[in-house]
Structure 1
Amino acid sequence: MTKPVIPPNAASGQQDALLTVTNLKKYFPIKGGVFNRVINHVKAVNDVSFSIKRGEVVGLVGESGSGKTTVGRTVLRLEEPTDGSIVFDGTDITRLSKPEMRRYRKRMQIVFQDPYASLNPREKIRTMLGHALAVHHIGRPEEREDRIVKLLEQVGLTGDYLDRFPHEFSGGQRQRIGIARALAVEPDFIVADEPVSALDVSIQAQVVNLLEDLKAEFNLTMLFIAHDLAVVEHISDRVIVMYLGRVMEIAPTRKLYRSPNHPYTKALLSAVPNPDARARPDRIILKGDIPSPINPPSGCVFRTRCPIAIPDCAKVIPVPTEVSPGHFSACIRTAPQGAALSTPELQDAP
């Protein structure tokens, strides 16, 4: 009997999901010609589905250009989705107006990749964190000073830093301030967009440990975006692997790192440094560069670099299919025999 395809968001227990993303697309128009008309689209996110349970940290990984950051920004409506739905705590926020969306800004926050660029260089830390509290009417004005000091202490800083400007801090300290700003409004959900990629390795570990501690203290739900699989393994409960705008694999962290199913995931993991030479998998070298999202390959978008691709890979778009409990993979070569594997190749219209 053929096993039906289970949508990848079922892997997280949709009934307890704080965030459910279904068939999300984000296309950026390319304009040109005499009349500056739309002549093509960058398909940054192309039919992505997943969900995140309350209190869960889900890692989102892939090479540069895979669409990770666009997913994070679109989920928060910092970018408007082209198609699909984003359900946050039971409400589809995809079509909400800007005034309606304002109610959810307090509950959904972001920690940016570049801690210096994300902070106003003309504002002292006292003013910066105070704005966040005032905009969302958190606490009385006379109480906010104490709340700001407490926020700094929660991220490993002290009240002595209140009257300093961003340029007076190290990179790691600035990222801690960015985290404090996100926490100031007491959010339910945080997108951490490569929050450690701009930091030294020793500082990366400190910031990741801080996020882990804050997750436990505040029961945070988080989408943790990164290209460093070693960092993602340390903090995530589950991992989503993306390539060229599509989901390749979703699995619990331990299962994905021990038994990856998709050839792209195997290639990424083979490149992770491992001090134990006996445990290090054979390095898989991917040929060529990631194709352009303006004109992605037909069928499986990974097929042009895949070491096990066959002609059928060019004809169908693989659907993420459950290969073991809670483990989904979009590959016609590695899915269980008899599983429903793919959908016909369709022309994606913006």
Structure 2
Amino acid sequence: MPLSKLKKMFSNLFSKSEISLENINSLGNVYVEKPEGWFDKLKGKYGVAYRPVVKNLEARFTEAESQKQTVLKLRHIDVNYGSAFRKFKAVKDVSLNIYKGEILGLVGESGSGKSTMGNVIAGLVNRSFGSMEVLGKSVPKKRSRIKKDLRYFLINKIQMIFQDPAGSLNPHKNIFKITKEGLDNLTNLKSLFLKMKIDEIILKLDEKIKEYNLENTLNWNLKNLEELNKNSTNQAIEFLFSKFNTKIKALSKDSESIELKRIAAYLAVSKTEVKNLQSSNLRKEKREWIINTLKSVGLDSSVLERYPLEFSGGQQQRIGITRSLVMRPTLLIADEPISALDVSIQAQVINIFNDLKDEYDLTMLLIAHDLRMVEYVSDRIAVMYKGRIVEIGKSHDIAKNSYHPYTKSLLDAIPSLESKQGSLIGYVYNPEMHKYTDKIQPEWIQISQDHFILATHEEFNQWKNGNY
């Protein structure tokens, strides 16, 4: 095919969504897609993929980003299923931040795109458009483009709990093999165990030093030592068992202090434990690690030699949670973790998430359709409808002070003792109520701190007055 014809074909193919770099600035505030593979670079010769940014979008993030650590950053995410000519857009222009230590609830009806978003974040589904960053590291759109180092990084940082506990557990493996599988696949497992062991030693030392009122005598700084271990465990080991240990021994000789001798004895025992760990094959450590994690979800070591089908649905879900937790992820994605469970068990699993958040300093994306359950455990809630986020805010604001008609319909669908006699359906959201055109488009309107709604100002004023 002649080159001129090929150029024309590509020009026609991308003309609807792309524009030349020379003309991009004329469009105002737009998001420009960065080229990743050869196909994107080929397209880039004829134009760049872009999208107009919804007005006030960055206002949702500016204040929070300055105060909190961003674990996950999503901008303008699309997910398409099907071919170019029969394309279904499951997720449309989703932008989201998840911050360190929070539980973000993602709610919506079946088919709203919630689980697709979870799968995109976990790397199980390719996104079609938009950018994704995990702890500042950019993640390519396609899984095939994720390099080895980044893949290990993501496995360490992100884990997922699936909706169907029975279907996600291998029936031919016992619980010990299922829960240790992730640990076996980690190449840096020994480094991880060493880092956690040193953290444990540092905290124990801090406790003893403060109990004996020796902070000033020893020039003790907990934060600096924790930061040193975070950056280099080998340097932390060198400091503790060489420099700090020498200092303790010298002071204890001069002062004959019983407290200093106790600290020196603890350091000697700890040094032996660290040496044993450095030369270990980690079999014993893995087993102890898994047993401790099982205890945190209400199970014990007696389950390790049994098989998934021997357990109830609630117990299977706890095992699924354990499998994810043994990796000590920074971000845990829970995809409808309670929908397949009996109502009496749902509250138990939700309470487990509450406890785990504090125990492991977890950051979590909790995907569900039960807004009341999500409200109970989440710090913030994002409401999703047909692939778009339409309202986002603190849990209390969404539950008690929401404005979007779709959020109202979700809340009205929840039975309560205060419900008026009559229809159980309550308010039904009709998407045709929006009169959007090319010139009239919704924007992000701030209602209160961290509470935003996607609407026009005219719509918001109507909804604020109760006119739906």
TM-score range relative to shorter protein:
0.7 to 0.9
Displacement, 1:323?
Answer: 2.6
Instruction: After TM superposition, list the pairs within 5 Å mapping 1:155-174 onto structure 2.
Output: 155-174=297-316
Residue range with higher mean Cα deviation, 192-201 or 77-86:
77-86
Deviations 1:169-204 (A, max 9, x none): 000000000000000111000110000000000100
**What is the aligned counterpart of 2:338 among 185, 196, 199?**
196
Q: Once superposed, what is the RMSD of the aligned Cα atoms?
A: 2.3
Deviations 1:49-96 (A, max 9, x none): 110110000000001010000011101221111111111111111355
Seq. identity, %: 38
Relative to structure 1, the CA distance from residue 247 to residue 317 in structure 2 (aligned partners, 3 Å threshold; closer, same or farther) is farther
Displacement, 1:212?
Answer: 0.6
2:217 equivalent to 1:75: no
Deviations 1:7-27 (A, max 9, x none): 365177124211111111111
In structure 2, distance between residues paired with 1:151 and 1:47: 37
Relative to structure 1, the CA distance from residue 238 to residue 156 in structure 2 (aligned partners, 3 Å threshold; closer, same or farther) is same
Q: Which has the higher strand share?
A: 1
Instruction: After TM superposition, list the pairs within 5 Å mapping 1:58-207 onto structure 2.
Output: 58-95=104-141, 97-99=146-148, 100-137=150-187, 138=189, 139=193, 140-207=282-349
**Equivalent residue number for residue 212 of structure 1:** 354
Displacement, 1:312?
Answer: 3.9
**What is the aligned counterpart of 2:446 among 322, 332, 336?**
322
Displacement, 1:315?
Answer: 6.7
In structure 2, distance between residues paired with 1:8 and 1:220: 26
In structure 2, distance between residues paired with 1:271 and 1:63: 11
**Equivalent residue number for residue 291 of structure 1:** none
Normalized against structure 2, the TM-score is what?
A: 0.62
Q: Which segments of 5 or more consecutive residues in structure 1 lack a partner in the other structure?
A: 31-37, 288-301, 338-350
Displacement, 1:276?
Answer: 2.9
2:377 equivalent to 1:238: no
Deviations 1:296-321 (A, max 9, x none): xxxxxx623xxxx2534687442332
**Preserved contact between residue 415 and residue 424 of structure 2 (Cα < 8 Å):** no
**Preserved contact between residue 172 and residue 307 of structure 2 (Cα < 8 Å):** yes
**Preserved contact between residue 261 and residue 334 of structure 1 (Cα < 8 Å):** no
**Equivalent residue number for residue 25 of structure 1:** 78
Q: Which has the higher helix share?
A: 2
Displacement, 1:101?
Answer: 2.2
Amino acid at match of 2:61: A
Instruction: After TM superposition, list the pairs within 5 Å mapping 1:252-271 onto structure 2.
Output: 252-271=394-413
Count of residue pairs brought into register by the alignment? 308
**Preserved contact between residue 9 and residue 49 of structure 1 (Cα < 8 Å):** no
In structure 2, distance between residues paired with 1:315 and 1:63: 29
Normalized against structure 1, the TM-score is what?
A: 0.82
**Preserved contact between residue 152 and residue 159 of structure 1 (Cα < 8 Å):** yes
In structure 2, distance between residues paired with 1:123 and 1:277: 47
Deviations 1:183-235 (A, max 9, x none): 01110001100000000001000000001100111110000000011111111
Relative to structure 1, the CA distance from residue 310 to residue 58 in structure 2 (aligned partners, 3 Å threshold; closer, same or farther) is closer
